[in-house]
Structure 1
Amino acid sequence: MIQDIAPHQYHTEYNPVPVQDDGVILAYRGRTVLVRLEGEDKSFSYPTYADLADVPAERFRWLFREDDINYFLALEDIPEGRGFAYISINFMRAARPRFQAFAGVAGLSLHNWYSNHRFCGQCGRPMAHSDVERMVYCGHCHTMIYPRICPAVIVAVRNGDKLLVSTYAGREYTRAALIAGFAEVGETIEQTVHREVMEEVGVKVKNLRFYKSQPWCFTDTLLFGFFCDLDGDETLRVDHNELATAQWVERHDLPDDPEQASLTMEMITLFKQGKM
């Protein structure tokens, strides 16, 4: 999956440092990121501060470290040029090197969080940045805000040798998907599984088995993957506000996974191989 970058290591501890010439710069416009394409195999690179030395150092904010490489967020628009151009963040699903692709997606999630918390939601005053942890706070009303991660489920519903496969309605991503949805306030993650399956396709499930989780920074989400079995009638009543299609697909007809980026496709592949 996209976060599996070993032997490289993504460091979550908050130890900001000043930007240096070799600091990697992550610059975003909406859901696009500034990169230089290096070849036809989806290899790429980001600009470093040395490439953008005409921009004052205070216009960059430290984000995180991978191995010994520090990544910084551009706080102002960086123009295209010098071989760099903005491309869709979805490019990172299959881009190489993998550890840098994950950095670009994680950086987008933090960029969105910083952008959405420039002002206090309680009193409207500008937020300040903590020097010791990743947190913004209001010096007037003392509101403190930490990065928010939304819990959601990915559900592989089995029906003998068939798997319930869907496609999303109104989404940029149009490939095969599983039933998915966000947890609501006050419900367990297992209750989310039952509710989302019933809401989206109108069937009941049983024998829930947690498989694994994935930080899906494309949507600021922490995904919980579950396998389960159909419980009763297999007739699907599809909510077309959420799903374009939903159908039972035989094991041997399931799609391959060339990207190897998502928990969804890993779970589909395991079922296809008869391992789940």
Structure 2
Amino acid sequence: MIQDIAPHHLDNAYRPVPPDRDSIALCYEGRACLMKRAGEEIIFPRFADLEKENTEIYKAYTYLFQVDEERYYLVTEAKWDCLSDFELEDLTVFRQAEPQYRAFAGITGHQLYHWYQAHRYCGQCGSPTKPDGKERMLYCETCRSMEYPRICPAVIIGVTDGNRLLLSKYAGRTYKKYALLAGYTEIGETMEETVAREVMEEVGLKVKNIRYYKSQPWAFSDTILMGFYCDLDGADEIRLDEEELALAEWFEREEIPVTPSRDSLTNEMIMRFKNGRI
């Protein structure tokens, strides 16, 4: 999966040390990231690339994390017109870009960028927020409220019936490939209750034997995904929620029309069933 970057290691401890010329600058605009290509690899700009046209760059930055010995910083006010070989690319590039550890850094950085952008002002009184010096937190000097990065819990659901797996396609989304059922956890629910509710809401089926498989950070939607398998309990007739899904259908293990990809928990769970490991 996208976070499996060994032997590299992402250290997300908050250590707001100043950048140097070799530090990596992550620059975003909406859902796009500044990068260049070197053959099959993506490369992010370093502070040395930006310093000539951005004299304040060593003062206006936000420490993000470290991958191995390289430090990554968020830079939001830099001019990059001078970098003719760099360009903005949509975040979807990170699902397949190489090297994988750099792609994971790029999408994780965007999750933090989105959080910082969305919390520039206090949600209680509207005053500007300020970064804390000891932990990754924004605080309001006026009303003393504090904001920490938000992570939304969600489930990925592999519904099985003997040798069959239920696959679906989302309605109204650009992603058109087969997927598993999924949904966000509501206040007051356990993860297992979310699984049962989402399956009933989206396809009208009852399930039993709900069992946890694995989790995945999914920065594309500020989410922590938790994968579960469960068994059909009763009738297999699908009653589709057409607002959420374009289709849902049962596939025999040998006929599942999905091939391996490196990025998602969904794909790993489908391939695990397809290959007879569940």
Where does residue 161 of structure 1 map in the other structure? 163
Cα distance in 2, alignment partners of residues 72 and 62 from structure 1: 5
Question: Structure 2, unaligned stretches of length 5 or more?
Answer: none
Where does residue 236 of structure 1 map in the other structure? 238
Q: In the alignment, does 2:56 pair up with 1:32? A: no
Cα distance in 1, alignment partners of residues 20 and 257 from structure 2: 45
1:77 deviates by 5.4
1:37 deviates by 1.4
Q: In the alignment, does 2:107 pair up with 1:109? A: no
Cα distance in 1, alignment partners of residues 122 and 152 from structure 2: 20
Cα distance in 1, alignment partners of residues 136 and 162 from structure 2: 47
Q: Secondary structure of the residue that 1:13 maps to in structure 2?
A: coil
Q: In the alignment, does 2:146 pair up with 1:148? A: no
1:149–1:221 Cα contact (<8 Å) kept: yes
> CA RMSD for the aligned pairs?
1.2
2:214–2:226 Cα contact (<8 Å) kept: yes
1:238 deviates by 0.8
1:60–1:73 Cα contact (<8 Å) kept: yes
1:260 deviates by 1.1
2:215–2:224 Cα contact (<8 Å) kept: yes
1:136 deviates by 0.3
Q: In the alignment, does 2:52 pair up with 1:51? A: no
Where does residue 273 of structure 1 map in the other structure? 275
Instruction: Spell out structure 1 runs of 4+ moving beyond 4 A.
Output: none
Q: Secondary structure of the residue that 2:15 maps to in structure 1?
A: coil
Cα distance in 1, alignment partners of residues 179 and 89 from structure 2: 24
Where does residue 199 of structure 1 map in the other structure? 201
Between stretches 69-78 and 102-111, larger displacement belongs to 69-78
TM-score by length of 2: 0.96
Q: C-alpha offsets along residues 169-199 of structure 1, whole Å, 9 cap, x if unaligned?
A: 1222221110000000011111000000000
Q: Secondary structure of the residue that 2:114 maps to in structure 1?
A: helix
Q: Give the letter aligned to residue 31 of structure 1.
A: R
Q: Give the letter aligned to residue 49 of structure 1.
A: F
5 Å-filtered alignment, 1:6-17, equals 6-17=6-17
Cα distance in 1, alignment partners of residues 177 and 37 from structure 2: 24
1:252–1:272 Cα contact (<8 Å) kept: yes
TM-score by length of 1: 0.96
Tell me the number of residue pairs that the alignment of Structure 1 and Structure 2 aligns.
274
**Aligned CA distance change for structure 1 residues 199 and 212 (closer, same or farther; 3 Å):** same
Cα distance in 2, alignment partners of residues 259 and 9 from structure 1: 21
**Aligned CA distance change for structure 1 residues 258 and 270 (closer, same or farther; 3 Å):** closer
Aligned-residue identity in percent: 50
1:245 deviates by 1.4
